[in-house]
Each structure stands twice: as C-alpha cells, then as structure tokens.
Amino acid sequence: MEAILHIEKEILLYVNGEEVARAMVSPTVGDLLRTARTPDAALHFHASITVPATDAGTQ
C-alpha cells in the first residue's frame, strides 16, 4: 500500500484554497483505536491533526 501522507513532514491542510491548519503529527495508539471502530480498514489512521472550527457558510 502506498502512503498517502508522509507524517514525518509538516502537514498542511487547505480548504477552498486557504490554509486552515499546519502541524507536525505523531502516531498514537489512541488515534488508531478511535478510527478502528469502522470495519473499513482504509479508514484506520494512526495520527490526526486538529482543525480549528469555523462558522459554516460565512464568506
């Protein structure tokens, strides 16, 4: 399986062309257990990034 993200590098998240988050991530057992609740193994992840909440539809 090919890696989608290289988590040893800084992760940048863009929404509608605007950067909304930038962070280094670390693998955790908690992230893996939380995402393992789904039977689809393609949705199991061992790291996560926090994204700030925004008001939907305000632009």
The answer to whether residue 23 is domain-embedded is yes
> CA dist 7 to 28, 37, 38, 46, 59, Å?
12, 22, 22, 10, 31
The pLDDT of residue 29 is 94
The answer to whether residue 57 is domain-embedded is no
The pLDDT of residue 18 is 92
> CA dist 57 to 15, 29, 54, Å?
13, 35, 9
Q: Quickly list H helices, the chain.
A: 29-35
The answer to whether residue 38 is domain-embedded is yes
The answer to whether residue 24 is domain-embedded is yes
The answer to whether residue 20 is domain-embedded is yes
The answer to whether residue 3 is domain-embedded is yes
The answer to whether residue 35 is domain-embedded is yes
pLDDT digits (tens, 9 = 90+) for 24-59: 988 999 999 999 998 998 888 888 888 888 766 555
Q: Specify the number of domains making up the chain.
A: 1
